[in-house]
Structure 1
Amino acid sequence: MSSAELPPPDHASASESGEQPDSSWPAIDHERREWVPAAAMGVRAARAGRASVAYDASVPPMIASRHPVLLPEVAADADEAAAELARFDAELGSRVAGFAPVLLRSEAASSSQIENLTASARAIFSAELGAKGSRNAELIAANTRSLQAALDLAEQITPASIAAMHRVLMESQPRHTPGEYRREQNWIGTRGDSPVGAEFVPPHHERVAALINDLAEFAARWDVPSLTSVAIAHAQFETIHPYTDGNGRTGRALAQSMLRYRGVTRNVAVPVSAGLLADVDGYHSALTAYRAGDPNPIVRAFASAAFRAVSNSRELVSDIDTVRGSWNDRLTARRDSSAWRLLDIFASRPVLDSATAAGALGIAQPNVYPPLKALVDAGIVRSKAEHKLGPFWRSEEILEALDAFAARAGRRQRV
């Protein structure tokens, strides 16, 4: 049975499930571990005696059967935010095919920007076609593929589906063992040589598998309100930090998968990360509060992010509609020309090569050049040769709308 067929409502109570809710969410615990620096290994170290230092690693609580109890106003905001996400998703209706691609890439770009990976819309779409001009754009394109995998795998939330998201994200970086849990201690902070004094030290790698199994059980439940479940599962994932790299992007892909699993979004990936991007410091502070035993800030952060994302996405849809409408007046090709069908394709994929354009139209590649030329002649798209890849055609207007979306979602400046 798919998730969409499951009937339980968001507001099933703890008493209905036969379990009593916790009065407070448990904080992480800690355990003392020994860190052996790489420089302390080898022949010299064996002679001198192995040098090691003690540090405290986190021990996150198991949450599979726990019920979060939130402040009433936070719970209400989360419910309304989930409803707003669902409304926007439904609004697109039959137009989802046109907007799903740009919204998916907007989510990928925003999630990546939280990790300080930025690139223009043009660079991202070009990277998907094989352009090698921007390493950041290539990483964001990989994040797009990871998000698509998250949506494709949303019928079930399992350790295997989470691993698949990470595998797709990191497939070009084998040193980070895509889809495999880390086999070493990691940490968050400025020091690169030791977890001692780090801002946050995730659990020891021996604990990761059991913690992810537990997280997947929590994420698959239906008796916790949808956005509350998404926010807490995301925070727990970031606390576990199960991989050597890509944890933030994978954790936000998990959030999109859970929104689809719970039926909040059925058609598009609403770029919630764009909402989080507006207050990255607040997002990180909310994760810290979660680890201290207070889930309210992270649920509030996701609710606020959802409202901001929907507002920004509506503006993006309006901008693209305006551009697309103007093209009808500018194109003078015959009514039976494939150029007219190309307009909708460029509105959703503003950078194309001839093979992609021909495939989208279902015609032979040599036959796509005349309609592409018609769009160039009308000033709707431009053509430029890419190094070793031949010409790309791009709509500057749609790319500008996407970059404007990113600018609206950008980090707030500290004052």
Structure 2
Amino acid sequence: MSWNWQQSDWPDFRWNEKTFAKAEAAFLRGAGVLIGSAKHLDEDARQQLVVDAMSVEALTTSEIEGEMLNRASVQSSIQRQLGFLSDRRKVQPAEQGISELMVDLYRGVDGALTENQLFAWHRMVVSGRTDLRDIGRYRTSDEPMQVVSGASYAPKVHFEAPPSTRVRKEMKRFLDWFNGTAPGMASALPPLTRAGIAHLYFESVHPFEDGNGRIGRVVAEKALVQGFGQPIIVALARSILAHHADYYRALEEANKTNDVTTWLRWFSAIALEAQYRTFAEIDFVIHKTKLLDQVRGRINARQEKVLLRMFREGPEGFEGGMSAKKYSIIAETAPATTTRDLAGLVGAGALIRSGELKHTRYALNIPVSNIPDISIDENGKLTFLI
């Protein structure tokens, strides 16, 4: 079996454009709605949306690679870099690096993608690592770059990238393609198609010793947002994480052919889902502002602290819901005080109570946005399942 880069038509990707006409139209309509919704937020809410969106993408793109980062540290780092008020906590190199990556993407989304930018992104992604030889440059090892699973005595090779001697040439061709297909260029491609191919193309070359997945997803996000015409973070990594097993299977199959129609069907559905997740984040910020205004002056400092902590978890909320035990830990209260505080929050309309006794849980009293599971069939029909 030969990999896509070993085939005679590499990298002349081909696909059925008609299959994605409806998806591309839906994405552009959604982009307009997103931009319009964001404009209705006040300055504080917009700042919160930007920080929250960047933080979630930073955390989830790292989690896809098995790296669990500290949410509060990532948020603090992003706030500092954007010049917003932060708690000035000490941030570890991995959290600082991925935060810098998200901020750099947001600030430079309109610019061309360059080799120097990719090298800077690589230094950010592997910040604090001491086990890599090639940091901030393309890989140079003579060993094959392979994605492998299974026992060492019987490994399964899911993919093998071009040898390091070919990487610089392949990446020059990739960058020329990426910048030449941007909006306004003679060879411009629709955003879903361009982002999907960009991600697959980058991952197929696998130019770095490590960090290719995170950088490749940022490349795809840059392509998506350039299609918007305005900077906004789309929840692409979060949607990929929700389907991470399918993600790796789809990439593995796509690495075997340069007909990318099947891959683009999968990726386009994920990108549309990411749009819906971003809608949900904007709605969450709007309802958070309304709820805090509603309870202002009616709750004490402990209750406000817990509410703000719950809001930090985003639209999904605490895993398993807020319990009396969690409240006591966050607010540092005795059981009797916890009971009074929670009852007060329910009475003020801030929380909704469910369950009884030890199964009692509390959730924020705001509408929940359902995220559809989207699929695109061979004829381009979009199906939305809630």
TM (normalized to structure 1)? 0.62
Q: Secondary structure at the match of 2:248?
A: helix
Q: State the distance in 1 between where 2:48 and 2:8 align.
A: 42
Q: State the distance in 2 between where 1:251 and 1:287 align.
A: 12
Q: State the distance in 2 between where 1:226 and 1:89 align.
A: 16
Q: Secondary structure at the match of 1:189?
A: strand
User: Does 2:212 match 1:251?
Assistant: no
User: What's the counterpart of residue 103 of structure 2?
Assistant: 148
User: Does 2:140 match 1:216?
Assistant: no
The change in CA–CA distance for 1:60 and 1:97 in structure 2 (over 3 A counts) is farther
- The structural deviation recorded for 1:205 is 0.7
- Give CA-to-partner distance per residue, 1:44-85, whole Å, 9 cap, x none: xxxxxxxxxxxxxxx79653xx46332522343244224423
User: Does 2:241 match 1:311?
Assistant: no
User: What's the counterpart of residue 327 of structure 1?
Assistant: 292
The change in CA–CA distance for 1:60 and 1:119 in structure 2 (over 3 A counts) is farther
Q: Secondary structure at the match of 1:322?
A: helix
User: What's the counterpart of residue 138 of structure 2?
Assistant: 181
- Give CA-to-partner distance per residue, 1:258-316, whole Å, 9 cap, x none: 233x3425131111122222222222222223222231232222221122222222223
- Give CA-to-partner distance per residue, 1:297-341, whole Å, 9 cap, x none: 3222222112222222222332332222222243349xxxxxxxx
Q: Secondary structure at the match of 1:401?
A: coil
Matches within 5 A, 1:202-213: 202-213=161-172
User: What's the counterpart of residue 139 of structure 1?
Assistant: 94
User: Does 2:317 match 1:404?
Assistant: yes
Q: State the distance in 1 between where 2:249 and 2:29 align.
A: 25
User: What's the counterpart of residue 117 of structure 1?
Assistant: 67
The CA RMSD over aligned residues, in Å, is 3.5
Q: State the distance in 2 between where 1:162 and 1:194 align.
A: 35
The change in CA–CA distance for 1:29 and 1:238 in structure 2 (over 3 A counts) is closer
User: What's the counterpart of residue 237 of structure 1?
Assistant: 202
Q: State the distance in 2 between where 1:119 and 1:276 align.
A: 17
- The structural deviation recorded for 1:197 is 4.8
The change in CA–CA distance for 1:311 and 1:29 in structure 2 (over 3 A counts) is closer
The change in CA–CA distance for 1:226 and 1:91 in structure 2 (over 3 A counts) is same
1:218 aligned partner, one-letter code: W
User: What's the counterpart of residue 4 of structure 2?
Assistant: 28
User: What's the counterpart of residue 92 of structure 1?
Assistant: 38
- The structural deviation recorded for 1:89 is 3.2
User: What's the counterpart of residue 159 of structure 1?
Assistant: 115
Q: State the distance in 1 between where 2:319 and 2:27 align.
A: 21
Q: Secondary structure at the match of 1:118?
A: coil
User: What's the counterpart of residue 377 of structure 1?
Assistant: 301
2:105 aligned partner, one-letter code: A
Give identity over the alignment, percent: 17
Q: State the distance in 2 between where 1:268 and 1:312 align.
A: 13
The change in CA–CA distance for 1:251 and 1:406 in structure 2 (over 3 A counts) is farther
User: Does 2:242 match 1:278?
Assistant: yes
2:4 aligned partner, one-letter code: I
Contact 2:14/2:261, CA 8 A, preserved across alignment: no
The change in CA–CA distance for 1:99 and 1:217 in structure 2 (over 3 A counts) is same
The change in CA–CA distance for 1:60 and 1:238 in structure 2 (over 3 A counts) is farther
TM (normalized to structure 2)? 0.66
Matches within 5 A, 1:48-59: none
Decide which of 301, 309, 319 is 2:266's aligned counterpart: 301
- The structural deviation recorded for 1:174 is 4.5
The change in CA–CA distance for 1:125 and 1:100 in structure 2 (over 3 A counts) is closer
| Structure (1 or 2) with the larger CA radius of gyration | 1
1:395 aligned partner, one-letter code: L
User: What's the counterpart of residue 330 of structure 2?
Assistant: none
2:311 aligned partner, one-letter code: I
- The structural deviation recorded for 1:126 is 5.6
The change in CA–CA distance for 1:122 and 1:60 in structure 2 (over 3 A counts) is farther
Q: State the distance in 2 between where 1:406 and 1:159 align.
A: 40
Structure 2 runs not aligned, ≥5 long: 79-87, 182-186, 321-369, 374-386
Q: State the distance in 1 between where 2:262 and 2:270 align.
A: 12
The change in CA–CA distance for 1:171 and 1:140 in structure 2 (over 3 A counts) is closer
- The structural deviation recorded for 1:395 is 2.2
- The structural deviation recorded for 1:169 is 1.8
Q: State the distance in 2 between where 1:208 and 1:194 align.
A: 29
- Give CA-to-partner distance per residue, 1:205-248, whole Å, 9 cap, x none: 11111111111111112322222111111101111111111110
